[in-house]
A and B are shown apart, each in its own frame.
Chain A
Amino acid sequence: MTIYADNAATTKMSRAAIEAMMPYLADNFYNPSSLYSAGQRAKEALECARETVARCIGAGAKEIIFTSGGSESDNQALLSAAAAGARAGKRHIVTDGIEHHAVINTLKKLKKDGFEITYLPVHENGIVRPEELEAALRDDTCLVSVMYANNEIGTIQPVREIGRICRAHGVVFHTDAVQAVGHIPVDVEEDNIDMLSASAHKFHGPKGVGFLYVRKGIRLTSLIEGGAQERGRRAGTENVAGIAAAAAALEGSVSSIYEVSARITALRDRLIKGLSEIPHSALNGDAEKRLPSNVNFCFEGIEGESLLLLLDDKGICASSGSACTSGSLDPSHVLLAIGRSHDVAHGSLRLTLGDDATEEEIDYIIASVKDIVARLRGFSPVWRDLCSGKLQHIL
């Protein structure tokens, strides 16, 4: 048995996405920039996909540009807003401490270029407080970038409120919605979003395709120079097959979003309840304002990588914020940002459920995690010290 519980890493392509993709890999291989009718049909497919994607997030088709994925979209959004800010003499950016590295590292680069970055706290529940955001805004703030939902702990940010504040202050608001689009309702109008990044493989589309929503009137800087594709904002022959598949995947996900999220939320809560029975464990991130599929726990006295390897032996695919799983020395910046100590953050487990998850699978995961945590604690010197009172329990 294999239970894939790492859907925040990537998702399986939907049947509809694969079917939408095939014609453009086979007979309709033409370049959408070509003048002849076959090329124009490829162009039509591209524009039809753009309209679909736009409709799914409440945008206009001209406000969507296709990219290679979430990271490219984040890079382009931030660099564009920063460039516009610099032209107006504004060099201050507000973000938070739990962003994806595509945002964090782009902002680090901007800091080297002379921008000042304010990192908002996310507190214990992993959520930004709008009033703290408003207080952080200055006359020279050119951009706010706060993710829609977090990739590790699944917390959903008060995006609509943040967008409202940004709009009132005339500051561009970007959100990395890679984990949200296709999983929870997202509407750029209602949510007051100026720029939004998304990635197709997170909503059952193919890898290597994403999009950036840019509100009409906001100028984009090109990351890739070349031809006039994407109305001159992203050069290079379009990935027609991938884009058609992305649109089909998103349409499919959005059409059943309420039904799927209600069902998965119930399974998520069953999983949270089951794992909470493990002594000295804790859920990471807000229990309610979180993605329907996301469960993230810390277990005291064990390390995450060994937990993942033993889960793999039981056929369960999961991930961890332990340093050992990333090849770096520090555990997840997200877990540290919500106040987990290094010791405890090493013992984290992220399970992100698929749309087809079942109760039986949840119960099997619970039993497996309980078993493995007990086994690893059985020969952990840290656990021994916690039990003997030499070390104080944190969780």
Chain B
Amino acid sequence: MALYSEKVMDHFRNPRNVGVIEDADGIGEVGNARCGDIMKMYLKIKDDIIEDVKFETFGCGSAIASSSMATELIKGQPVSEAMKLTNKAVAEALDGLPDYKMHCSVLAEEAIEKALEDYFEKHPEKRKDV
């Protein structure tokens, strides 16, 4: 039995939306190197829509795949939808993660949450809209 699903391996081998957005509207970084996982999400938001999203991840296969999948799930979505993203949705979209790797999907959820929080801090007027 393989360690990860085909979906996880696909997103790990060919991560989507890798990189940095220089003029990002929101940036979120979670995790720490001590524990072996750091995720950083960059959001470009226009008219309350996640126009672009990029990530950088230091971590294991499932951390990289979770970041990649999370960006896919929110790209092109309204901010209000992105706020509802759960770790469960990320894990399910990856056809599941081993139990002891579920925290990777939690990190992905938190990284997006933090990037959105950063966006709202920069644009407080947007908070009431969603």
Q: Which of A322-363 contact B (CB under 8 A)?
A: 322-325, 327, 329, 331, 341-343, 346
Distance between Cα atoms of A301 and B38 in the complex (Å): 10
B35–A329 contact, CB under 8 A?
A: yes
- Distance between A308 CB and nearest chain B CB, rounded to angstroms: 9
B130 at the A/B interface (Cβ < 8 Å)? no
A383 at the A/B interface (Cβ < 8 Å)? yes
Residue ID in chain B nearest A382 by CB atoms: B58
Which chain B residues border A57 with CB–CB below 8 Å? none
Distance between Cα atoms of A313 and B4 in the complex (Å): 13
What's the count of A-B pairs with C-beta under 8 Å?
66
B64–A306 contact, CB under 8 A?
A: yes
A343–B19 contact, CB under 8 A?
A: no
B57 at the A/B interface (Cβ < 8 Å)? yes
Distance between Cα atoms of A329 and B35 in the complex (Å): 7
Name the one of B13, B15, B38 contacting A381, with C-beta atoms under 8 angstroms: B38
B58–A327 contact, CB under 8 A?
A: no
Which chain B residues border A313 with CB–CB below 8 Å? 13
Which chain B residues border A302 with CB–CB below 8 Å? 58
Indicate whether A305 sits within 8 Å of B60 (C-beta atoms), given known contacts A346-B33, A381-B38.
yes
A72 at the A/B interface (Cβ < 8 Å)? no
B29–A303 contact, CB under 8 A?
A: no
A309 at the A/B interface (Cβ < 8 Å)? yes
Residue ID in chain A nearest B104 by CB atoms: A324
Contact with A along B1-38 (1 / 0, CB 8 A): 00000000100110100111000000001000111111
Distance between Cα atoms of A124 and B13 in the complex (Å): 35
A15 at the A/B interface (Cβ < 8 Å)? no
Distance between Cα atoms of A346 and B58 in the complex (Å): 10
B40 at the A/B interface (Cβ < 8 Å)? yes
Distance between Cα atoms of A313 and B33 in the complex (Å): 25
Contact with A along B42-74 (1 / 0, CB 8 A): 000000000000011111110110000000000
Residue ID in chain A nearest B9 by CB atoms: A309
Distance between Cα atoms of A394 and B29 in the complex (Å): 22
Residue ID in chain B nearest A324 by CB atoms: B60
Name the one of B19, B34, B60 contacting A306, with C-beta atoms under 8 angstroms: B60
Which chain B residues border A258 with CB–CB below 8 Å? none
Which chain B residues border A322 with CB–CB below 8 Å? 36, 60
A379–B57 contact, CB under 8 A?
A: yes
Which chain B residues border A301 with CB–CB below 8 Å? 58
A393 at the A/B interface (Cβ < 8 Å)? no
Distance between Cα atoms of A121 and B63 in the complex (Å): 34
A379–B18 contact, CB under 8 A?
A: yes
A219 at the A/B interface (Cβ < 8 Å)? no
Distance between Cα atoms of A303 and B37 in the complex (Å): 8
Which chain B residues border A256 with CB–CB below 8 Å? none
A255 at the A/B interface (Cβ < 8 Å)? no
A380 at the A/B interface (Cβ < 8 Å)? yes
Name the one of A305, A306, A324, A342 contacting B33, with C-beta atoms under 8 angstroms: A342
- Distance between B40 CB and nearest chain A CB, rounded to angstroms: 4
Contacts A/B (CB < 8 Å), 16 sampled? A305-B60, A306-B60, A309-B61, A310-B13, A322-B36, A341-B34, A342-B35, A343-B34, A346-B33, A378-B18, A379-B18, A379-B19, A379-B56, A380-B38, A381-B29, A382-B58
Q: Would you list the 9 A-B pairs with minimal beta carbon distance, nearest first?
A: A305-B60, A324-B60, A343-B33, A346-B36, A381-B40, A381-B56, A342-B34, A382-B58, A380-B58
Please name 16 further chain A to chain B contacts, defined as beta carbons within 8 Å, in addition to the given A322-B36, A346-B36, A380-B56, sorted by A numbering.
A303-B37, A303-B58, A306-B12, A313-B13, A323-B36, A327-B100, A342-B33, A342-B35, A379-B55, A379-B56, A380-B38, A380-B57, A381-B38, A381-B58, A382-B33, A384-B56
